[in-house]
Chain A
Amino acid sequence: MPLLNLTLKVWRQENANTEGRIETYEAKEIPTSASFLEMIDIVNERIIKEGGEPIHFDHDCREGICGMCSMTINGVPHSKERGITTCQLHMRKFSDGDTIWIEPFRANAFPVVKDLVTDRSSFDRIIGAGGYISVRTGSAPDAHAIQIPKPDADAAFDAAACIGCGACVAACKNASAMLFVSAKASHLNHLPQGQAEKDQRVLGMVKQMDQEGFGNCTNQFECEAVCPKEISADHIAKLNRDYLTASARSSVS
């Protein structure tokens, strides 16, 4: 099996209150079949063996559905490969002798906890501000109890694919959370069940997004390019439209 020798430039930071710095590591004899996270596991085992502090990073499912892994690889969140999370990236995409820059997702609204681990609870607070439908909990309703036109169901489903990883924020030149917020709002706003709380949802989520210190969208669509679920920036246009109508309605009612 071919083995790779790589140079890693990794962001190391003790905690949220200390200054971080880039440190260089040699990643020797990395199998091309390893995933990117396994490569860091291998490097970490060597660091531990030498008595050092391993590189801290977030990960969970390692199959691209949990949204936990959050690294910016050579300046691009989840790497330049389209439609994948960091855990789905494999070392066969790299060549022997490459230098790889590994940094945390950068945004003031995502403070660094340690090394590559960031606190993305700002997303949770946005969801808490309206990213839900208030319903009776209990047994699931019949599948066809409410009719939903196919195009609406598809659009809602596309938006619902968002795993809330935060790559959109990390890729945005302004650290704007518009793709995340628009996907979460669009998912529910496309469905009949979401209509009752639509205006409240849109106004609430946008207000919370602004309070968290995210930047403003400048329509460059870097978010769309890095989204592991390939969510379209068309949802942002829908959020803008819904926000305009919700504001207009709330100003006269």
Chain B
Amino acid sequence: MSATSCSLCAFVKSSIGRKIIVALTGLALVLFLASHLAGNLLVFAGQEAFDEYAAFLHNLLHGAGVWIARLGLLTCFIVHIWFTILLTKENKTARPKYAHEATVQAPRSSRLMIWSGLTILAFIIFHILHFTVRTDAELAKLGAESPWKMVILAFQNPLVVIFYLISMTLLCSHLGHGVASIFQTLGLRSKKTAGPIKLISKAYALIIYLGFISIPLAILLFGFGCETCK
């Protein structure tokens, strides 16, 4: 038993072990994004489809399903952030600065990971207060009646839409480097797979980006669903 726990300790303390934990929690969050987007796009299928989907999620396993998912995601989220902050702090202290700094090929997205990540954290706190906790009384009232109507009303506010756009842009940047990094850290990259991994990573980031921004943009700029919300 002690030998087992000791190997695990060494793994969690090691640079590669921590990176693998970040990669696995990142993978869970990346997969969540796809299912979240698929659900959200039902907004375009109309009020009935979207509200039914919301009710379906809340009734999964007699209401326990949504809480199991929330706790799982929260755990992944906290572990992902905790270890990345730990690793980033070590990285900052490991390298004194050059008087003349230069970058050969590291993409901007890779150098902004901690900042794009922290912006996403701020966004998620806002997003949960906005649509899950519903701190806005008007949204809360409408949300209880129809989640679809709540979404339409929420995106009438240009400031909210701008914040969503900025956050999604940074999410796209985060994914552009993050998805490819999952493969590298889990040891799945090789000469043969390097090309497809790069492509999948970029394409995934772009699909998630376009998918998520399409909703606030359609509502604010093209007045999607607006007759019913008023």
Contact = CB atoms under 8 A, between A and B. Distances in A.
B75 to A, nearest CB: 21
Contact of A218 (B13, B93, B110, B191): B110
Contact of B104 (A76, A101, A243): A76
Interface stretch (B42-50, B142-150, B177-185): B177-185
A59 interface: no
Contact of B98 (A106, A207, A239, A243): A106
A57 B181 CA distance: 36
Contacts of A209: 15
Interface in B8-27: 8, 10-11, 13-20
Contact of B17 (A175, A218, A243): A243
A250 B99 contact: no
B189 A234 contact: yes
Highest count of chain B CB atoms <10 Å: which of A80, A234, A236:
A234
A220 interface: yes
A172 B105 contact: no
A252 interface: yes
Highest count of chain B CB atoms <10 Å: which of A109, A209, A233, A241:
A241
A88 interface: no
A173 B99 CA distance: 14
A219 B95 contact: no
A176 B188 CA distance: 20
Contact of B15 (A9, A76, A210): A210
Q: Is the interface of A mostly helix, strand, loop or mixed?
A: mixed
Given A219-B110, A219-B180, A240 B190 contact: no
Contact of B190 (A22, A214, A237): A237
Nearest to A212: B94
Contacts of A220: 105-107, 110-111
Q: Is the interface of B mostly helix, strand, loop or mixed?
A: helix
A232 B190 CA distance: 9
Contacts of B15: 176, 206, 209-210, 214, 216-217
A241 B20 CA distance: 10
User: How many residues of A sit at the interface, in one of the four size bands?
Assistant: 35 or more
Nearest to A240: B187
Given A219-B184, A232-B191, A244-B187, A175 B94 contact: yes
Contacts of B95: 106-108, 172-175, 215
Contacts of A224: 105
A247 B10 contact: yes
Contacts of A9: 99-100
Interface in B88-119: 90-107, 110-111, 113
B7 interface: yes
Nearest to B95: A175
B16 A108 contact: no
Contact of A103 (B87, B94, B100, B189): B100
Contacts of B103: 75, 173, 222
11 contacts: A74-B100, A75-B101, A76-B102, A203-B10, A218-B113, A219-B180, A225-B104, A237-B190, A240-B185, A242-B187, A247-B7
Interface of B: 3-4, 7-8, 10-11, 13-20, 87, 90-107, 110-111, 113, 177, 180-181, 183-191, 194
